[in-house]
Amino acid sequence: SPHIWDTGVGIGAWTGTPEGYEQQAMNVIGALMSVGYSFGITIIMLKVMDAVWPGGIRVTPREEEVGLDLAQHGERAYVNE
């Protein structure tokens, strides 16, 4: 059976042809668009949660100092604390 490199299939820009480079560019553009979309949706979700929840999505400085396990759950995370 032929090796993948011998068939010219599935190797994108490595073919050295304009079509290969075009395919590789489309793949990079698609990946960047996916990252941008995910980042944008995440920002929107965080802004909505910050607006809806009382006090926002951050904890108080006191809760940070005490530790979230104790402040929010009423228990220690480690036995030796």
pLDDT of res. 48: 95
Which of the listed ranges 35-39, 59-63, 64-68 does the model predict with the highest average pLDDT? 35-39
**pLDDT reading at 77 higher than 70:** yes
Q: Which residues are CB-contacts of 12 (< 8 A; sequence separation ≥ 6)?
A: 20, 23, 24, 27
Q: Do residues 24 and 12 lie in contact, with contact meaning Cβ atoms separated by under 8 Å?
A: yes
Q: Do residues 20 and 12 lie in contact, with contact meaning Cβ atoms separated by under 8 Å?
A: yes
Alpha-carbon span 78 to 72, nearest angstrom: 15
Q: Do residues 70 and 76 lie in contact, with contact meaning Cβ atoms separated by under 8 Å?
A: yes
pLDDT of res. 19: 75
pLDDT digits (tens, 9 = 90+) for 32-55: 999 999 999 999 999 999 999 888
| pTM of the predicted protein model | 0.61
